[in-house]
Chain A
Amino acid sequence: MDSSRPSDHFDSPAQVSGISQPKLGFVGYLRFFWRQLTSMRTALLLLLLLAFAAIPGSLVPQRTSDPNGVVQFKTENPDLYPVLDTLQVFNTYSSVWFSAIYLLLFISLIGCIIPRTRFHLAALRARPPRTPARLDRLAGFTSITAEADAAAALDSATSLLRRLGYRVERFGSSVSAERGYLRETGNLVFHSALVGVLIAVGLGGGLGYSGQRVVVEGQKFVNVLGDYDSFNPGRFFSSDSLTPYRIELNSFDATYETENPNAIGLATYYSANVTTTDENGNTGESSIKVNSPLDIGNSEVFLLGNGYAPVLTVRDPEGKVVWTDAVPFLPQDAFLTSVGVVKVPDGLAKQVGMIGLFYPTVDTLDSGALASTFPGLDDPLLTLRVYTGDLGLDDGVPKSVYALDPIGLTPIAGGASDVDSLELGIGDTVEIPGGLGTVELSGVKRFASFDVHHDPAQLWVLGFAILILGGLLTGLFIPRRRVWIKVVETEGSNVRIEYAGLARGEDPGLESAVTDIAARHSKQLGLRLNP
Chain B
Amino acid sequence: MTEIFETYSVIAVYSALAVYTIAFIAFTLDLARRSAPATATVRTGALASASGGRATALLERLATDTPSDTPGKASRPLQLAMGFTVVAWLLHVAAAVLRGLAAGRVPWANMFEFSLTATAIIVGVFLAIQFWQDLRFLGVYITGFVILLLGIASVNFYVPISPLPQSLQSAWLVIHVFVASLGTGFFAIGAGLSLAQLLQSRRELTGAGPRFLATLPSAASLENLAYRVILVGFVFWTFTLIAGAIWAQRAWGRYWGWDTKEVWTFIIWTIFAGYIHARATRGWRGSRSAWLAIVGFSAVMFNFTIVNLFFKGLHTYSGL
A511–B56 alpha-carbon span in the complex (Å): 13
Please name the residue on chain B nearest to A45 by beta carbon: B274
Does A201 contact B256, Cβ atoms closer than 8 Å?
yes
Please name the residue on chain B nearest to A263 by beta carbon: B162
Does A8 contact B238, Cβ atoms closer than 8 Å?
no
Choose, from A11-19, A80-88, A360-368, A421-429, the stretch at the interface. A11-19
A503–B161 alpha-carbon span in the complex (Å): 53
Q: Give residues 51-88 of B contacting A (CB, 8 Å).
A: 54-61, 63-64
Does B255 contact A57, Cβ atoms closer than 8 Å?
no
Does B163 contact A266, Cβ atoms closer than 8 Å?
yes
Does A508 contact B224, Cβ atoms closer than 8 Å?
yes
Whether B167 is near chain A, meaning CB under 8 Å from some CB there, is: yes
Task: Please indicate the chain A residues that have their CB under 8 angstroms from the CB of B227 in the complex.
Answer: 506
Does B253 contact A510, Cβ atoms closer than 8 Å?
no
Does A44 contact B284, Cβ atoms closer than 8 Å?
yes
0 or 1 for each of B264-283: is its CB under 8 Å from A? (1 = yes): 10110011011011111111
Task: Please indicate the chain B residues that have their CB under 8 angstroms from the CB of A10 in the complex.
Answer: 55-56, 59, 279-280, 285
Does A453 contact B253, Cβ atoms closer than 8 Å?
yes
Does B242 contact A302, Cβ atoms closer than 8 Å?
no
Whether B251 is near chain A, meaning CB under 8 Å from some CB there, is: yes
Question: Contacts A267-B166, A269-B166, A502-B57 given: A40-B242 contact, CB under 8 Å?
Answer: no
Q: Give residues 42-92 of A contacting B (CB, 8 Å).
A: 43-44, 47-48, 50-51, 54-55, 57-58, 61-62, 64-66, 69, 92
A451–B257 alpha-carbon span in the complex (Å): 14
Task: Please indicate the chain B residues that have their CB under 8 angstroms from the CB of A269 in the complex.
Answer: 166
A289–B249 alpha-carbon span in the complex (Å): 13
Whether B231 is near chain A, meaning CB under 8 Å from some CB there, is: yes
Whether A489 is near chain B, meaning CB under 8 Å from some CB there, is: no
Task: Please indicate the chain A residues that have their CB under 8 angstroms from the CB of B274 in the complex.
Answer: 44, 47-48, 51
Whether B45 is near chain A, meaning CB under 8 Å from some CB there, is: no
Whether A461 is near chain B, meaning CB under 8 Å from some CB there, is: yes
Give the Cβ gap from B248 to chain A, nearest Cβ, in Å.
11
Whether B160 is near chain A, meaning CB under 8 Å from some CB there, is: yes
A43–B280 alpha-carbon span in the complex (Å): 11
Task: Please indicate the chain A residues that have their CB under 8 angstroms from the CB of B266 in the complex.
Answer: 51, 54
Does A66 contact B312, Cβ atoms closer than 8 Å?
yes
Does B280 contact A268, Cβ atoms closer than 8 Å?
no
Whether A210 is near chain B, meaning CB under 8 Å from some CB there, is: yes
0 or 1 for each of A196-213: is its CB under 8 Å from B? (1 = yes): 000001000000001000
Does B163 contact A511, Cβ atoms closer than 8 Å?
no
A interface bracket (residues with beta carbon within 8 Å of B): 35 or more
Does A41 contact B281, Cβ atoms closer than 8 Å?
yes
Give the Cβ gap from A292 to chain B, nearest Cβ, in Å.
7
Whether A507 is near chain B, meaning CB under 8 Å from some CB there, is: yes
Give the Cβ gap from B316 to chain A, nearest Cβ, in Å.
12
Does A304 contact B253, Cβ atoms closer than 8 Å?
yes
Choose, from A218-226, A462-470, A491-499, the stretch at the interface. A462-470
0 or 1 for each of A239-269: is its CB under 8 Å from B? (1 = yes): 0000000000000000001001011001111
A507–B273 alpha-carbon span in the complex (Å): 19
Most A C-beta atoms less than 10 A away, residue of B253, B266, B311: B253
Please name the residue on chain B nearest to A8 by beta carbon: B280
Secondary structure at chain B's binding surface: helix, strand, loop or mixed? helix
Task: Please indicate the chain B residues that have their CB under 8 angstroms from the CB of A502 in the complex.
Answer: 57
A262–B162 alpha-carbon span in the complex (Å): 6
Does B253 contact A503, Cβ atoms closer than 8 Å?
no
A269–B164 alpha-carbon span in the complex (Å): 10
B interface bracket (residues with beta carbon within 8 Å of A): 35 or more
A269–B29 alpha-carbon span in the complex (Å): 53
Question: Contacts A262-B159, A473-B235 given: A293-B253 contact, CB under 8 Å?
Answer: yes
A328–B152 alpha-carbon span in the complex (Å): 43
Q: Give residues 17-74 of B contacting A (CB, 8 Å).
A: 54-61, 63-64
Question: Contacts A44-B278, A267-B165, A468-B242 given: A291-B250 contact, CB under 8 Å?
Answer: yes
Does B312 contact A469, Cβ atoms closer than 8 Å?
no
Task: Please indicate the chain B residues that have their CB under 8 angstroms from the CB of A11 in the complex.
Answer: 280-282
Whether B130 is near chain A, meaning CB under 8 Å from some CB there, is: no
Give the Cβ gap from A285 to chain B, nearest Cβ, in Å.
20
Does A65 contact B253, Cβ atoms closer than 8 Å?
no
Task: Please indicate the chain A residues that have their CB under 8 angstroms from the CB of B249 in the complex.
Answer: 458
Other-chain contact of B235, A12, A268, A472 (Cβ < 8 Å): A472
Whether A270 is near chain B, meaning CB under 8 Å from some CB there, is: yes
Other-chain contact of B312, A43, A47, A69, A267 (Cβ < 8 Å): A69
Task: Please indicate the chain B residues that have their CB under 8 angstroms from the CB of A510 in the complex.
Answer: 60-61
Whether A100 is near chain B, meaning CB under 8 Å from some CB there, is: no
Whether B156 is near chain A, meaning CB under 8 Å from some CB there, is: no
Task: Please indicate the chain B residues that have their CB under 8 angstroms from the CB of A508 in the complex.
Answer: 60, 63-64, 224, 228
Give the Cβ gap from B314 to chain A, nearest Cβ, in Å.
8
Give the Cβ gap from A177 to chain B, nearest Cβ, in Å.
16
Other-chain contact of B253, A64, A210, A473, A505 (Cβ < 8 Å): A210
Whether A300 is near chain B, meaning CB under 8 Å from some CB there, is: yes
A61–B245 alpha-carbon span in the complex (Å): 21
Give the Cβ gap from A35 to chain B, nearest Cβ, in Å.
14
Please name the residue on chain A nearest to B167 by beta carbon: A290
A516–B224 alpha-carbon span in the complex (Å): 22
Task: Please indicate the chain B residues that have their CB under 8 angstroms from the CB of A503 in the complex.
Answer: 56-57, 60
0 or 1 for each of A4-36: is its CB under 8 Å from B? (1 = yes): 000111111110000000000000000000000
A510–B314 alpha-carbon span in the complex (Å): 47
Q: Give residues 104-139 of A contacting B (CB, 8 Å).
A: 138-139
Q: List 28 A-B contacts (CB under 8 A).
A: A9-B56, A9-B280, A10-B59, A10-B280, A10-B285, A44-B274, A50-B270, A51-B266, A57-B263, A58-B307, A62-B258, A65-B258, A210-B253, A257-B162, A262-B159, A266-B165, A289-B166, A291-B250, A293-B253, A302-B252, A302-B253, A462-B246, A466-B242, A468-B242, A502-B57, A503-B60, A508-B228, A511-B61
Q: A51-B266, A262-B162, A290-B166 are in contact. List 9 more A-B contacts (CB 8 A).
A: A40-B280, A48-B271, A210-B253, A268-B166, A469-B242, A476-B235, A508-B224, A510-B61, A511-B61
**Interfacial residues, chain B to chain A (CB-CB below 8 A):** 54-61, 63-64, 159-167, 169-170, 224, 227-228, 231, 234-235, 238-239, 242, 245-246, 249-260, 263-264, 266-267, 270-271, 273-274, 276-285, 292, 307, 311-314
**Interfacial residues, chain A to chain B (CB-CB below 8 A):** 1, 7-14, 40-41, 43-44, 47-48, 50-51, 54-55, 57-58, 61-62, 64-66, 69, 92-93, 138-140, 201, 210, 257, 260, 262-263, 266-270, 289-293, 300, 302, 304, 451, 453, 455, 458, 461-462, 465-466, 468-469, 472-473, 476-477, 502-508, 510-512
Name the 4 nearest CB pairs between A and B, nearest first: A263-B162, A51-B270, A302-B253, A262-B160
